[in-house]
Amino acid sequence: MNKKGFISISVVYTLFMLFIMLLLAVLAGYANMRVLLRIAKGDTSDILVDSEDNRQVGVVCRQQKIGECFATYSNLDHDLYFHDGSDMDSNSENEAGDNSYRYAGNNPFNYVCFGTSNVPCPEDNLYRIIGIFDNQAKLIKVNPLSSNQAWNSKTTVTSPKLWKEASLNEYLNNTFLGTFSSEWQQKISITTWNAGEAEYDKILTTNAKDAYAYEVGEHKNDMTTDAKIGLMYVSDFYYAASPEYWIKKGLDSTGTDDYRASAVSNWLAGHTEWTITPINNTNNQAFKLLTAGNVGADYITTATVEVRPVFYLYSTVSLVSGIGSHDDPYLVN
């Protein structure tokens, strides 16, 4: 065997492979540079995705404030809907009209790794972005807490449906919040939560826009609570479904015209979990979501309901990397 010839072929092959890898890296960088240059020129009309598995917003917004940048370039992700309530799109009459940006559909690229910088992200540290509100990203834990809990187990209090005094609120803002280091706690915004009672029929047997109005909009109860951690609103769940379902009811007695039909098109569906909204009745109940995809109610002392914490990131939190998929979630600073 000619060893010199063998070595020469190996060297040539290695150099060739290095050249190919370098060329691919240059082409990828060129493609991203073209996207950034077009954005700098204000030309973002048709930059949606470079494939079904890669949202360009994750590239564009790196090293930038996540809330502000996602709001600015929301058109780069077709699952992120702007709720301005104008007549600019076909969903306008059913939107919340609060100038929020909300993720809707079956499986948007809205995963965030929070509480750790480990890669890959531990499953217990995975969150998803409900939407962008006043340049703050609103996150919900992907997996429920390990133990189910009552909304309020303190039956002796004068106002058991007051979220400010609820046992679950205390648990979330003490025990759960304490699972994060001080560095990560400082990324979570102190938020004013709308936590007043809402009428059963105004939330459960109406559509997304009406439920929003009576839960957190113009007809809301004025009771609020300032805290870092809360739960989702019923209207958060409604608006997480594809827009064609925003006219459906939370629950319909016939079973033919409610949110059960949206279960496969609502990324928040699939759990029996508490919402933050208590019901304005004498039965000491709060709204909860059901695995079938619709909304129900339960007594606040029921200890078998799942809990998924929700919180807002301060507007100064930036995106480090990731495309927002389950396997490559957004990493924040």
Residue 257, pLDDT > 90, answer no
Q: How many CB atoms lie under 10 A from the CB of residue 23?
A: 10
pLDDT-above-70 percentage for the chain:
85
Residue 143 pLDDT > 70, yes or no?
Answer: yes
Using the predicted structure, report yes or no on whether residue 131 has a pLDDT greater than 50.
Answer: yes
Mean pLDDT over 207-228 rounds to 96
| Distance of alpha carbon 49 from alpha carbon 173, whole angstroms | 38
Most confident of 41-50, 176-185, 245-254: 176-185
Predicted local confidence at residue 33, as pLDDT: 53
Domain boundaries, the chain: 1-43, 49-138+314-332, 144-312
The pLDDT assigned to 8 comes to: 67
- 311, 131 Cβ separation under 8 angstroms: no
- On the question of pLDDT at 107 being above 50, the answer is yes
- Which has the higher per-residue pLDDT, 46 or 222? 222
Of 34-38, 41-45, 51-55, 329-333, the least confident? 41-45
Higher-scoring residue by pLDDT: 231, 44: 231
Would you say the C-alpha torsion 144, 271, 190, 159 has a positive or negative sign?
negative
| pLDDT value, residue 254 | 77
Rounded to whole angstroms, the Cα distance separating 280 from 290 reads 20
Question: Which pLDDT score, from 0 to 100, does residue 155 have?
Answer: 75
Burial (CB < 10 A; 0-12, 13-18, 19+), residue 85, is: middle
pLDDT at 113 over 90: yes
Q: What is the pLDDT of residues 4-41, one digit of tens each?
A: 455 567 766 777 777 777 765 555 455 455 555 554 44
Position 212: which residue type? Answer: Y
pLDDT at 52: 47
Q: What is the pLDDT of residue 169?
A: 98
**CA 85 to chain centroid:** 20
Tokens, residue 33: 């540079």
Average pLDDT over residues 59-83: 94
The pLDDT value recorded for residue 149 is: 97
How confident is the model over 205-213, as a mean pLDDT?
Answer: 95
CA distances (Å), origin 1, targets 4, 6, 10, 278: 9, 8, 14, 83
Question: So what's the pLDDT on residue 75?
Answer: 87
Provide the whole-model pTM: 0.85
Mean model confidence pLDDT for the chain:
88
Average pLDDT over residues 282-299: 94
What single letter denotes the amino acid at residue 52? E
Q: What is the pLDDT of residue 29?
A: 52
Check if the beta carbon of residue 62 is closer than 8 Å to that of residue 320.
Answer: yes
The string of pLDDT tens digits covering residues 76-104 is 898 999 999 776 677 889 999 999 999 99
pLDDT value for 332: 97
* Alpha-carbon gap, residue 222 to 242, rounded angstroms: 30
Q: Say if CB 99 and CB 114 are below 8 A apart.
A: no
Strand ranges, E, within the chain: 49-51, 54-55, 80-83, 100-103, 111-113, 126-133, 136-141, 191-194, 224-227, 273-278, 285-289, 295-299, 310-312, 319-321, 330-332
